[in-house]
Amino acid sequence: MSHQCCNLYVDLKSHIQRINFIPMVREILRFPHPILKKPTKKVDVIDREIRELVRDMFETMYHSEGVGLAANQIGVDLQVMVIDTTPRKESPPLKLVLINPEVIHSEGSLNYKEGCLSFPGLVVEVERNSKIQFKALDLEGEERTYELEGFPAIVFQHEMDHLMGITFLDRIKGLKKRLALERYAKLQKQRV
Ligand code: NI
């Protein structure tokens, strides 16, 4: 009897773990949500909550066919970003979890037509650095240094901006910005 009871306990335990580890697609906040304009806070401890956040960020990003996502885009005020360039042919596949990222060096310039999951349907040409060096913690809490070039560097800079409360609209000016805002307003109307 006791053996059966023990098996039942093991079954129940794995069942509960499975339930807890099912990744969730979370809602992506859209511009002009105020949280997108606020700089995020540093992560103090990489605990279970952060690991679950990262897992859900990947799930949410893949669900919307994005290549990068910042935590504040799903309403979490923390310096966490995920990147996965695998679906895009512009670069070799690269999957990263970056916690508390800090830019060390940047150089060169590159124009690229960017999209953003917080601005569904809008494409904006933005000037970015072509090379970027930065450090960040990984999910194990190890500090690592990265050097990215081209498309992955663009994705990183776009997400880094999000973590600082900046969107790609803040990277353009004048008529270009006004037209982008008009296009976005139209896209939002079509959505209703
Ligand atoms: Ni974005």
Q: What is the 3-state secondary structure (H, E, C) of 89-109?
A: CCCCCCEEEEEEEEEEEEECC
Q: Which helix (H) or strand (E) holds 111?
A: strand 110-114
User: How far apart are the C-alpha atoms of 165 and 180, rounded to whole Å?
Assistant: 19
131 within domain boundaries: yes
**Tokens linked to 67:** 């290549």
Confidence (pLDDT) at 53: 96
pLDDT tens for 35-83 read 999 999 999 999 999 999 999 999 999 999 999 999 999 999 999 999 9
31 C-alpha to ligand 1 centroid (Å): 10
15 C-alpha to ligand 1 centroid (Å): 36
Q: Domain of 96?
A: 24-191
179 within domain boundaries: yes
**Tokens linked to 178:** 């006004």
4 within domain boundaries: no
Q: What is the mean pLDDT of the chain?
A: 92
Confidence (pLDDT) at 192: 66
**Is-contact 153 128, C-beta < 8 A?**
yes
> What is this structure's pTM?
0.89
Catalytic residue positions? Answer: 159
40 within domain boundaries: yes
Other beta carbons within 10 Å of 68: 26
Count the domains in the chain: 1
User: How far apart are the C-alpha atoms of 65 and 73, rounded to whole Å?
Assistant: 15
Confidence (pLDDT) at 87: 87
174 within domain boundaries: yes
Other beta carbons within 10 Å of 66: 22
Confidence (pLDDT) at 6: 59
Confidence (pLDDT) at 2: 47
Name residues whose C-beta falls within 8 Å of residue 41's C-beta, 6 or more positions apart in sequence: 77, 78, 79
Residue 41 burial (CB < 10 Å; 0-12/13-18/19+)? middle
71 within domain boundaries: yes
Query: Could you tell me what percent of the chain has a pLDDT over 70?
Result: 89
158 C-alpha to ligand 1 centroid (Å): 6
**Residue (of 24, 116, 35, 25) closest to 75 by Cα position:** 35
Q: What is the 8-class DSSP label of residue 146?
A: E
154 C-alpha to ligand 1 centroid (Å): 11
133 within domain boundaries: yes
171 within domain boundaries: yes
Give pLDDT < 70 ranges for the chain.
1-21, 192
Confidence (pLDDT) at 191: 80
47 C-alpha to ligand 1 centroid (Å): 25
**Is-contact 148 160, C-beta < 8 A?**
no
CATH number of the CATH domain containing 112 = 3.90.45.10
